[in-house]
Amino acid sequence: MPGFYNSGSRGTIVGKGDDEFDPEDASKQLREAMSGLGTNEAIIIDVVTAHNYEQRQIIRDKFKTMYGQDVDKDLESELGGTFAKVITGLMQDPEEYLMEQVNSAIKGIGTNERKLVSLLCCRTNDELTEMKEAYKNKYGSEMEEDVTDDLSGDVRTLMVSLINAGRDESEAIDPDKVREDAQALFDAGPGQVGTKEEVYNAIFNCRSPAHMREVFDMYEEVAEGKTIEETIDSEFDGSVQAAYTAMIKSFRNMVAYNAERLHDATSGVGTDDDTLIEILVTRSEIDLRDILEFYEGKYGKPLVDVVASETSGDYRKTLTRILGEEVSDNE
């Protein structure tokens, strides 16, 4: 799976060493934790969070071989609520987890466009391709068709472009092309009456993050001090504005972007559990340590303390374990 978990050195979940990893024993522990009266949630948390992604996939296969059942389904039926979501999210392939989140955003009456934006706008080509394949395998339909079925106008165009996964991902920078794109964005927005949305859609969805960072700097020069963020705020609204803003933030600094999302998810009334789980699950073996450091530096408080204060029970224990700390019920 080339798209996910390919950088791993700054994650919080490391897994067991080769001499300690025993998938048969881990499978037995999970089976026993779900057998008989009641469920031993502590063992489930220990087993799932002590192993990294590759080890969990081996455990999934071993469990099915030993007991003829899918451990994911067993866990889902035994556990409940947000605790079940985070545990099954860790056990799944990341593309499985994310495409199921996409499906949850489009089922029922209406489409949760903001959730789609957060799930799709900052993925790599490989990640999106793997999500589409997993979606087709599970639901028997194309993710693009299902996502766009209830959308129209600019947001539909944007989602089609995102899901197409055709972004240039090279690190090469062509200064002439940078200036050309910066000028094109200005001419399509503040430089005319109305906005040529297709120009923004093409540039934002085709160019590499490295190229776009240079474009944003050049744009400020072309626009005589006006930032690209200010232009997006004045020229767009709704989900399209949210998508372009998210892309800008992630292109500039993915770690800072996810730290901000975590702060927003745990601020105000209530907790955005879907966002909290998504980031902790999908970044746990990529750059979660960097996110934690950035978060504490910007917001002045360790994320684990914030998460512990916003959550409870086994859900709380699992999240804080992902964050690399043990928080007791009394803390």
pLDDT tens for 47-102 read 999 999 999 999 999 999 999 999 999 999 999 999 999 999 999 999 999 999 99
Of residues 319, 321, 331, 328, the one with CA closest to residue 274:
319
What pLDDT does residue 5 have?
60
Residue 101 lies in a domain: no
The ranges of the chain with pLDDT < 70 are 1-8, 191, 193-195, 328-331
What pLDDT does residue 194 have?
64
Are residues 260 and 218 part of one domain? no
Phi, psi of 150 (to 5 degrees): -105, 15
Which two structure tokens, joined as six digits, stand for 224? 């005589």
pTM: 0.93
Range of the domain at 298: 256-322
Torsion of the alpha carbons at 136, 118, 49 and 124, rounded to the nearest 10: 60
In angstroms, the CA 283 to CA 156 distance is: 28
Q: Out of 32, 62, 91, pick the residue that ends a domain.
A: 91
Are residues 248 and 179 part of one domain? yes
DSSP H or E run through 212: helix 209-222
Q: Out of 164, 191, 208, pick the residue that ends a domain.
A: 164
What pLDDT does residue 2 have?
46
Are residues 265 and 233 part of one domain? no
Residue 153 lies in a domain: yes
What pLDDT does residue 110 have?
80
Of residues 96, 88, 69, the one with CA closest to residue 1:
96
What pLDDT does residue 268 have?
83
Of residues 128, 79, 114, the one with CA closest to residue 246:
114
Are residues 194 and 151 part of one domain? no
Residue 223 lies in a domain: yes
The answer to whether the beta carbons of residues 276 and 307 sit under 8 Å apart is yes
Count of structural domains, the chain: 4
Question: Which CATH number fits the domain that encloses residue 83?
Answer: 1.10.220.10
Are residues 266 and 315 part of one domain? yes
Residue 307 lies in a domain: yes
Residue 118 lies in a domain: yes
Residue 56 lies in a domain: yes
The answer to whether the beta carbons of residues 169 and 125 sit under 8 Å apart is yes
